[in-house]
Amino acid sequence: MRILFLHTYPLWGSGSGTYVRHLAQELAKKHKIAIACPDDRTLPGCKIYPIKLPFFVAATGHPEYPDCKLYHGLSNRELLRVYSTFLRGSVRAVERFKPEIIHVQHCGVLSWVARFIKAIYGINYIVTSHGTGLHTISQDKRFWPLTREALLSAKCVTAVSGDTRAWVLKIFGFDKKFSRKMRTIPGGISIENYPKEKLLRIINKKYKLKGKKIVLFSGKLTSLKGVKYLVKAARKIKGDIFIIGQGPEESSLRKLARDLEVKNVHFLGYFGKDKKNELMEFYYRADVFVAPSVWDEPLGLVILEAMACKTPVVVTRKGGIPLAVKEGFNGLFIRPRNSNDLAEKINKILKNTKLRKRLGENARKTVEEKFTWKKISKKFHRIYKKFIINDKR
């Protein structure tokens, strides 16, 4: 099978980029895979068709482009430039790679491109909604008509969580007939990359972690992630907090930490491909991973990565997170925007070694049983196989 992915962002630096990267590599074990996206880095087993945008743009920001434009802030002319660039780049990939089916990531501009390609070239496509594309549509109604038409023309629409699926149906006013062609398929983990035990070679010495209790956050620093509530809770937390990531909220979070005069909060910046080993070690070294999101985001892959490393999680009951996290089994839930609850639940795990070990073991077990890319790729393979027939309908 020849499968072409169309992706809005680079393959590193975002949850959807990680999703595409790992799904594509798993599928590449048995199929021919190509990816058209704004990235020219190589990915083993996959053909990359770089798309050079006139300027970088994202839905909520991107750590590799901290000063990028946002889709809902584009002028009409800027939006046309982005669309035409994606269209030309995607068509070039289609003509060179000759895919049998196209898999679009995000509800947005690239879904418009896929609809055009289907009309002209007769190649069917499916769309995966990650959530941030819907965030843009909620802010800017210009994206609504063409995206709705593109989703109606898609052979299948998948969502990374049940909440994201419900959001798609609500935003576009789709009926029960459309809902029957939707599937919920979350992200996953290449579990073979996460041994049950790992020797820490870098971070203990580099970051002076000996004897410390470690609380970890990793992700984009946007207001939706709720990191400010973690900083506000720092004074009451009996451990050191390490924040890995960049984003528009970074400067205000650093200022908040200074104003509160908390000494146990450490901002480490964005860990890109060159620091992936350090990031992996932090997942293993952490006593608790925290995701204090305040919006209904999809199940974050960073949560699954931490769980695969036997690290218990403290999270909000938002979006797709409850797909993986079960209260008292592999993590603890907190109320959104509640720093006192956050500190209480973190400390509960930090002070109880037996609880921490049990939650961590169950976290690993959950990922092994439900969230490996091998299992997830099989679900997509069945969808591709069903709709691979080219037609003009």
255: helix, strand or coil: helix
Average pLDDT, the chain: 94
pLDDT category, 322, cuts 50, 70, 90?
confident
Q: Is the pLDDT of residue 391 over 60?
A: no
pLDDT category, 45, cuts 50, 70, 90?
very high
pLDDT at res. 66: 84
Give the percent of the chain with pLDDT over 70. Answer: 98
Q: What is the CATH code for 2-188+372-387?
A: 3.40.50.2000
- Which of 299, 315, 267, 319 shows the shortest CA–CA distance to 371? 299
User: What does the domain layout of the chain look like in residue ranges?
Assistant: 2-188+372-387, 191-370
pLDDT at res. 389: 58
Nearest-angstrom CA–CA distance, 258 and 301: 30
pLDDT category, 320, cuts 50, 70, 90?
confident
Domain over 191-370 is classified CATH 3.30.70.260: no
Q: Is the pLDDT of residue 252 over 80?
A: yes
pLDDT at res. 392: 42
- Tell me whether residue 294 is exposed, middle or buried, using C-beta atoms within 10 angstroms of its C-beta: 0 to 12, 13 to 18, 19 or more: middle
Q: Is the pLDDT of residue 251 over 90?
A: yes
pTM of the shown model: 0.80
Q: Note whether 2-188+372-387 and 191-370 share their fold.
A: yes
Distances (CA, A) of 242 to 33, 156, 286, 374: 37, 40, 9, 31
**C-alpha R_g of the chain:** 21
Q: Is the pLDDT of residue 393 over 70?
A: no
pLDDT category, 64, cuts 50, 70, 90?
confident
Cβ within 8 Å of residue 176, ≥6 positions away = none
The highest-confidence range among 90-104, 155-169, 264-278, by mean pLDDT, is: 90-104
